[in-house]
Amino acid sequence: MTTVEDAVRRPDPGTSRKARRTAVHTFRPRRSWPAFLVGAVVAVIAVLAATEVISALVGSPLRVVALDRAADYAGGARWNEPGVRIASAVLAVIGLVLLGLALVPGSGGHLPLRTDDPELVVGLSRPGLRRALAAAARDVDGVRHAHVRVGRRRVTVRATTHLRGAPGMRDAVGAAVQRRLAELDPLRTFTVRARITFSKA
């Protein structure tokens, strides 16, 4: 049975979806380096073309680029020639690579957290997430050190303890890290894998 308090407290599904889309879009990694490289190449080509055109209009062409030979070759080239096919294939591959870089998101520096509010966007850096999960693992009795590695869908915890043969240590560390993940509530779902090593010191 749903009470009035539960209905008020429960977020609207449409609002939650909008908040999720907003958070994912905000923290989506930007392809800055490919865009910079493409922009630099286009800028160099534009400067060279403008230099050639302006110098030709003035009456003293610089001829920085051998346009005459390029135009002669392009005018006499045929589609069935090997050089034209190779150049076309290379340009097509470059274009496909650039399209792939633009469409496929990379690994972002921040992990969006669930807020259920489209006006509030919260993200946690991966180093901050590693530190928070490592602190949760160290809070388990008997754990001296903990190292956390965060992948795309998996969190790996390597905990060091001085208690040899401690029963349930791995499960306790995994549960502590899982609880901390549930408190942070990231949009991405992670599986936790814990490993325990023994140290005398």
**What CATH number is attached to the domain comprising 189?**
3.30.70.1350
Q: Among candidates 163, 136, 161, 158, which has minimal Cα distance to 146?
A: 158
- Specify the pLDDT at position 7: 41
For residue 128, is it within any domain? Answer: yes
The whole-number average pLDDT for the span 78-92 is 81
d(CA 179, CA 185): 10
For residue 180, is it within any domain? Answer: yes
Domains in the chain: how many in total?
1
Tell me the average pLDDT of the chain: 77
For residue 18, is it within any domain? Answer: no
- Which residues does 144 contact at the CB level (< 8 Å), separation at least 6? 138, 160, 161, 162, 199
Q: Is 117 exposed, middle or buried (0-12, 13-18, 19+ CB in 10 A)?
A: middle
Which position has the token pair 């274009």? 95
2: pLDDT confidence band, cut at 50, 70 and 90? very low
For residue 90, is it within any domain? Answer: no
Contact 185/147 with Cβ under 8 angstroms? Answer: no
- Better-scored residue on pLDDT, 24 or 45: 45
For residue 37, is it within any domain? Answer: no
For residue 5, is it within any domain? Answer: no
174: pLDDT confidence band, cut at 50, 70 and 90? very high
For residue 7, is it within any domain? Answer: no
For residue 94, is it within any domain? Answer: no
- Specify the pLDDT at position 197: 87
- Better-scored residue on pLDDT, 178 or 5: 178
d(CA 23, CA 112): 6
- Specify the pLDDT at position 1: 41
**In terms of residue numbers, what domain contains 159?**
110-198
Contact 111/189 with Cβ under 8 angstroms? Answer: no
- Specify the pLDDT at position 138: 93
